[in-house]
Amino acid sequence: MAVNIIGLDIGTSSMKLVCLKQTKKLTSLKSFAIVPLPTESIVDGALMNTSAISDSLVKILKEVKVKTKNVALSISGHSVFVRFIRTTTVNDDELEEHIKWDAESYIPVNINDVYIDFQKLTGVPDQSGEIEVLLVAAKRNMVDEYDQLVKSIGLKPAIVDIDAFALQNVYEFNYPNRYNDENVVIINIGSAITNINIIEKGISKFVRDISIGGMEVTEAVSQYYGLSVEEAENIKLGALQGDSNLVNSKELHGIYEDVASRIAGEILQTIDYYRTQAAGDDIDRLYLSGGGSKVELITKRLGESSGIQVEYLNPFNNINIDPRMFNIDFIRENGILATVAVGLALRKVES
Ligand SMILES: Nc1ncnc2c1ncn2[C@@H]1O[C@H](COP(=O)(O)OP(=O)(O)OP(=O)(O)O)[C@@H](O)[C@H]1O
Ligand SMILES: [Mg+2]
């Protein structure tokens, strides 16, 4: 029987937890919480300050009081490698051997240092006799750290996913009528990492994490005004809500212009890289998510420079939220930060 699972996204700037109740007819939100993490607790997806992270984990669990111990986690950044491989080896057993032997030609690390998983994307060979296989490799030490962290507070790590696929899961679940028809790019702009997943008619074609995010904006403000990162972050959040009189708003706008163009430029460069390599179909839509996407100038620049329609990915589009249980304004404001956590909470674990 499928049981509930805690979707836990441990991000660079905050931890997000989502629990859902899924019946045949309806999926409803059961728990939603966000707890900030101290600066530099996580760097490039690696856990740097485990005691601070574990304190936040205890705090978030207290806030939501969930019964289940099963957790779905996800990882991202430079320790995760996603590759799309073409091979003439189609037999399942041979494929496993082939991938193990050949993995080092696809990923830049020693095979013994990574956990490997793969999945056939096409069952039937194409004209050149090849099938497409998705290869995912993740550094063992990083996965083990997450595993130990969660176990240390009595939870059971049932699933370790990667951010980009959790995002795809959210898109599939919330936009079922579009999923198999559209060619889209999902862009999750976090604090330090931006996840990109290019999906053509329901099939992922390209996945990449780039080291850029909302933190760039904070750092630019911090450098320009000689402020601490915390002070700059407060100005950023306040200023973007239009209530900061601490700094000259024209100057601040200039900084945002610069950083937004740079972030949008890097994201579009990555998408262009895929399009020149793979000569894929035209892209119908860019879906944005993550806290960094709340900087409206980034969204604006992405739309202007690409000429592609940009839309926010609503992680609760197809999820029922009881207004007696949740503060709807809070969810409207912060839901975009919870996309990965929703994707994880949608995963099913067999008991
Ligand atoms: N209202 C807002 N306006 C502008 N930026 C915001 C707003 N709310 C959050 N952010 C920014 O969004 C970023 C956090 O987003 P998110 O929670 O998606 O990242 P994360 O998951 O913690 O980090 P990562 O995915 O990079 O590990 C921070 O840089 C934060 O300053
Ligand atoms: Mg994130």
Question: Is the predicted pLDDT of residue 345 greater than 50, yes or no?
Answer: yes
> Does residue 197's CB lie within 6 angstroms of at least one atom of ligand 1?
no
CA of 339, closest atom in ligand 1: 18
Distance 97 CA to ligand 2 centre (A): 34
Please tell me whether residues 130 and 253 are part of one structural domain.
no
Domain presence at residue 262: yes
Contact 4, 347 (CB under 8 A): no
Query: What's the rounded Cα separation, in Å, for the pair 41 and 331?
Result: 25
Query: What's the rounded Cα separation, in Å, for the pair 202 and 196?
Result: 15
> Does residue 343's CB lie within 6 angstroms of at least one atom of ligand 1?
no
**Among candidate residues 159, 174, 160, 163, the one with its CA nearest the CA of residue 196:** 163
Length of the chain: 351
Which range has the worst mean pLDDT, 75-84, 91-100, 170-179, 241-250? 241-250
For residue 272, count other CB atoms closer than 10 A to its CB: 11
**Among candidate residues 351, 330, 348, 286, the one with its CA nearest the CA of residue 16:** 330
> Does residue 233's CB lie within 6 angstroms of at least one atom of ligand 1?
yes
Distance 187 CA to ligand 1 centre (A): 13
Please tell me whether residues 116 and 240 are part of one structural domain.
no
Please tell me whether residues 300 and 194 are part of one structural domain.
yes
Domain count, the chain: 2
> Does residue 294's CB lie within 6 angstroms of at least one atom of ligand 1?
yes
Mean pLDDT of the chain: 92
Query: What's the rounded Cα separation, in Å, for the pair 70 and 56?
Result: 18
Please tell me whether residues 226 and 133 are part of one structural domain.
no
Crossing angle (nearest 10°) for helices 214-225 and 229-240: 110
Please tell me whether residues 120 and 204 are part of one structural domain.
no
CA of 334, closest atom in ligand 1: 8
Taking residues 278-286, what's their average pLDDT? 86
> Does residue 31's CB lie within 6 angstroms of at least one atom of ligand 1?
no
Query: What's the rounded Cα separation, in Å, for the pair 328 and 141?
Result: 39
Taking residues 144-171, what's their average pLDDT? 96
Upper half-sphere CA count for residue 156 (Cβ side, 13 Å): 10
Return the sign of the alpha-carbon dihedral for residues 5, 183, 214, 40: positive
Ligand nearest to the CA of 215: 1
Domain presence at residue 60: no
Distance 44 CA to ligand 1 centre (A): 14
Phi/psi region, residue 307 (left: phi>0; alpha: psi -120 to 50; beta: rest), is left
Distance 324 CA to ligand 2 centre (A): 28
Q: What is the DSSP letter of 291?
A: G
Whole-model pTM: value is: 0.95
Question: Is the predicted pLDDT of residue 54 greater than 50, yes or no?
Answer: yes
pLDDT of residue 93: 87
Query: What's the rounded Cα separation, in Å, for the pair 134 and 85?
Result: 6
Domain presence at residue 58: no
Domain presence at residue 219: yes
Question: Is the predicted pLDDT of residue 1 greater than 60, yes or no?
Answer: no
Q: Which two tokens stand for residue 166?
A: 């959790």
Please tell me whether residues 293 and 205 are part of one structural domain.
yes
Query: What's the rounded Cα separation, in Å, for the pair 350 and 126?
Result: 34
Please tell me whether residues 124 and 184 are part of one structural domain.
no
> Does residue 14's CB lie within 6 angstroms of at least one atom of ligand 1?
yes
For residue 189, what are the domain limits? 178-314
pLDDT of residue 110: 92
Question: Is the predicted pLDDT of residue 42 greater than 70, yes or no?
Answer: yes
Contact 164, 195 (CB under 8 A): yes
Distance 25 CA to ligand 2 centre (A): 30
Domain presence at residue 182: yes
Contact 5, 74 (CB under 8 A): no
Mutate to test the pocket of ligand 1, among 13, 41, 222 (most ligand atoms within 8 A of CB): 13
Please tell me whether residues 223 and 299 are part of one structural domain.
yes
**Between these two residues, 100 and 60, which has the higher pLDDT value?**
60
> Does residue 13's CB lie within 6 angstroms of at least one atom of ligand 1?
yes
C-alpha distances in angstroms, 223 versus 39, 139, 216, 228, 229? Answer: 16, 33, 10, 8, 9
> Does residue 290's CB lie within 6 angstroms of at least one atom of ligand 1?
yes
Question: Is the predicted pLDDT of residue 3 greater than 70, yes or no?
Answer: no
**Among candidate residues 166, 94, 172, 162, the one with its CA nearest the CA of residue 133:** 94
pLDDT-based confidence at 241, cuts 50/70/90? Answer: low
Taking residues 13-37, what's their average pLDDT? 95
Q: Which two tokens stand for residue 72?
A: 């779905």
Question: Is the predicted pLDDT of residue 159 greater than 70, yes or no?
Answer: yes
> Does residue 222's CB lie within 6 angstroms of at least one atom of ligand 1?
no
CATH of the domain at 108: 3.30.1490.300
**Among candidate residues 81, 203, 95, 202, the one with its CA nearest the CA of residue 135:** 81
Question: Is the predicted pLDDT of residue 65 greater than 90, yes or no?
Answer: no
Distance 321 CA to ligand 1 centre (A): 23
pLDDT of residue 242: 54
